[in-house]
Amino acid sequence: MRKLAVILIILPCFLLTGCWDAREINELAFVLSIGLDKTDNGFKVTAQIASPETYSKTPSGTGSSQTKPFWIVTSTGRTIFEAIRNMASKSSRRIFWAHIKVIIISEKLAKGNTLEIFDFFTRNPELRLRTLIAVTPDEAEDIIKIQPEMEKDPAVYLEKVIENKSLTGKSYSTMLKDFIEDYLDTFTGPVVSRLVIEKSGPRPIVKTSGAYVFDGDKLSVPLDEVQTRGLLWIKNKMDGSIMVVNCPEDGNPVTLEIKKAGSSMKSQIESGIPHFIINVKAEANITEQSCVTDFNDRKKLDELSKALEKAIASDIQSTIAVAQDIDIDFPALNSVLHTQHKEEWHDIASDWSKLFRNSQVTVTAKVAIHHVSLAKPLTPIKTK
């Protein structure tokens, strides 16, 4: 009986294969951000790879405080995969993609056929679909190589800059999964972040400015900051942003912080032409005013609310106007029509491009301004 027990214990051990495909951390090169540029013969890939010192609990003791926490490597190839594999000739570790934060694509490359780009990234099982995507009019390599002032890791810096869209209301952010979803939608145009290099200071920095619209797998047009803000209103992404409007009395600027915002859309079809009504509700606080108007006066506060409502409607109309002009439904009006008129949608879907250009869009905005001031504004001193 004892022999049988020993056999039953030992026998399963021969069936265990162990971690035959395990990848040790000290054998991997963790890519944190990647830049893609066009070359005459294919692609140039620039990767920011984390230095082992950044995740090692036991520093090597070779002056790690002076060592950069990242390594920039560039390679080329006829395809993206070939360019990445060519990095193996420069790296002692296997390239690992699971921690990538940002994918930067140059405008020059994005204007061509980008199908190969997203085909590679969607096939890569290591890549997270929550990775951010951005396009730049500069070289993507130059964006990746910029060393930030306040972050040790350029990838973290780029990630935070893109995600700070909610503070300014003038830029956009898109994850890989959202881009792919819109890309696969026959009727909706994908929108991505727009990054530019600002060289006015002592050192170049990266800033967000507007967005880019794709037409299928090719870059179409950039959106300016006003058009991008209109899209944020439509997409319910304006919480925490600011708006600057003119004071109703003297035209001086008044800054309002959007504390809460939401939009809804209704659609109807009249004589075969779609009509959309976009309703926006927002709550705001006055954070700064350069006019002497006392907004504790309810009548004057209502005038300011109407000025903000008009500005919101103008932003959204500018976005709709450019969408209809380029004939790309990046605001995704088609999905609203599809949801609210399923039977009619199947009859008109094939003509959506033409119908979208002729669609009528009405915008209504209702704003409530709560926090005004505890004291009356100062009256300017009159001079003789």
Mean local confidence (pLDDT), 24-30: 72
pLDDT at 263 over 60: yes
Instruction: Tell me the β-bridge partners of 259.
Output: none
- Name the pTM for this structure: 0.85
Helices 298-326 and 225-234: crossing angle in degrees, nearest 10, is 100
pLDDT at 374 over 60: no
Where residue 321 falls among pLDDT bands split at 50, 70, 90? Answer: very high
Residue 260 has a pLDDT of 92
Mean local confidence (pLDDT), 309-333: 96
Residue type, 311: A
Residue 9 has a pLDDT of 62
Residue 370 has a pLDDT of 86
Q: How far is CA 261 from CA 191, 281, 295, 310, in A?
A: 21, 6, 21, 15
As a CATH number, domain 230-377 is: 3.30.300.210
pLDDT at 20 over 50: no
What's the sign of the alpha-carbon dihedral 177, 212, 162, 371? negative
Token pair recorded at residue 212: 């880019």
pLDDT at 63 over 50: no
Where residue 65 falls among pLDDT bands split at 50, 70, 90? Answer: very low
Q: What is the mean pLDDT of the chain?
A: 85
Does residue 344 sit in helix, strand or coil? helix
Q: Tell me which H or E stretch contains 176.
A: helix 176-184
Residue 128 has a pLDDT of 81
Mean local confidence (pLDDT), 190-206: 91
Select from 264, 270, 352 the least CA-distant residue to 316: 264
Contact 102, 158 (CB under 8 A): yes
CA distance 384 to 381: 10
Q: Is 18 left (phi over 0), alpha (psi -120 to 50) or beta?
A: left
Residue 24 has a pLDDT of 62
Where residue 190 falls among pLDDT bands split at 50, 70, 90? Answer: very high
pLDDT at 44 over 90: yes
pLDDT in tens, 204-245: 999 999 999 999 888 999 999 999 999 999 999 988 899 999
CA distance 351 to 371: 48
* Strands in the chain per DSSP E: 28-39, 42-50, 70-77, 94-96, 102-106, 132-136, 174-175, 191-198, 205-215, 218-223, 242-246, 253-270, 273-289, 360-369
Decide which of 50 and 195 is more confident.
195
Q: What is the CA radius of gyration of the chain?
A: 27
Select from 188, 168, 194, 360 the least CA-distant residue to 278: 360
- What's CA 136's distance to the chain center, in Å? 12
Segments of the chain assigned to CATH 3.30.300.210 = 230-377
Instruction: Lowest mean pLDDT of 138-142, 150-154, 285-289, name the range.
Output: 150-154
